[in-house]
A and B are shown apart, each in its own frame.
Chain A
Amino acid sequence: MKVKTLRFGEVEVPDGMVFCLTGGLIGFPLLKRFVILEHKPGSQFRWLQSVDDPDFAFVVIDPLLLAPDYPLDRLRDAVADGHQGSSEVVVAAITTVPPEPEPITVNLMAPVAFNAVSRVGAQIVLHDGHYSARHVLARTGSASSPTT
């Protein structure tokens, strides 16, 4: 299928690769269908591009890069559809890239999770207070490395 996007023009995506958030993104209830697009070869970032509105694309990153103990089991359970209890989960954390000098931050509190088989999922809020909605990823140009 062809997907119209503001950022990437018209992109061709295999029909089965559309991910669905049943309730939409929190605060954006009409944004239900997405495709995941590469950013650049070798990049850790990807794009969660809305199929419903070409104007909306979100930078995402694998939260496990930032939080190795991220609660994947909980997210897997949250998107399990009963018949696919053991199916894998696709998780993406939305990344905010504000103008300089504000830091790039990652929303670890409310990741987007999809059932890898049905590709249906939700933006799930982790209520326990361990994860920030603005986890500072890196201050560009600073000497500190987040990978240690």
Chain B
Amino acid sequence: MLVLSRKQGQSIVIGNDIVVTIREVHGRTVRVSIETPAGMPVYREEIHKEIVLENRRAALGAASVDARLSETDAVLGAGRPPKEGP
């Protein structure tokens, strides 16, 4: 792992097309901008972890769900026609 120091306004280039710039240092908070190629997602780490965890829970839970979905459908479906499309 590379560890380096940067001043406000300075940047780091990763590969050919990712640029991380230190915008502002304010107390214990650092504001950075991240330029990436179109379509490359950037996440806050804690959000990324939360979504990974939730996807895993969903994958595990899907093993035995029929009865619970039917009960929930009975609540959701009250007064609704069957829906088209996902």
Chain A residues engaging chain B, CB cutoff 8 angstroms:
7, 22-23, 25-28, 36, 39-47, 56-60, 62, 65, 90-92, 94-100, 104, 107, 109-110, 122-123, 125, 127, 133-134, 137-138, 140-141, 145-147
Contact = CB atoms under 8 A, between A and B. Distances in A.
Given A62-B86, A98-B57, A110-B54, A125 B72 contact: no
Contact of A90 (B43, B55, B79, B86): B86
Nearest to B71: A140
Contacts of B68: 97, 100, 104, 140
Main SS at interface, chain A: loop
Contact of A94 (B53, B58, B72, B80): B58
B31 interface: no
Main SS at interface, chain B: helix
A60 B32 CA distance: 35
B19 interface: no
A104 B72 CA distance: 9
A147 B76 CA distance: 6
Given A99-B61, A140-B75, 15 more contacts: A26-B48, A27-B56, A39-B69, A40-B73, A43-B70, A43-B77, A44-B83, A45-B72, A91-B86, A109-B50, A122-B41, A123-B51, A125-B41, A127-B44, A138-B76
Given A22-B39, A26-B51, A133-B51, A107 B79 contact: no
B72 A107 contact: no
B14 interface: no
Interface of B: 39, 41, 43-44, 47-48, 50-59, 61-62, 65, 68-73, 75-80, 82-83, 85-86
B65 A40 contact: no
Given A44-B83, A60-B86, A90-B85, A147 B78 contact: yes
Contact of B77 (A42, A100, A109, A125): A42
Contact of A125 (B43, B78, B83, B85): B43
26 contacts: A23-B39, A23-B41, A27-B52, A27-B53, A27-B56, A43-B73, A44-B76, A47-B62, A56-B59, A58-B58, A58-B59, A59-B58, A59-B62, A62-B86, A96-B54, A96-B57, A97-B65, A104-B72, A107-B55, A123-B55, A127-B44, A138-B75, A140-B72, A140-B75, A145-B75, A147-B79
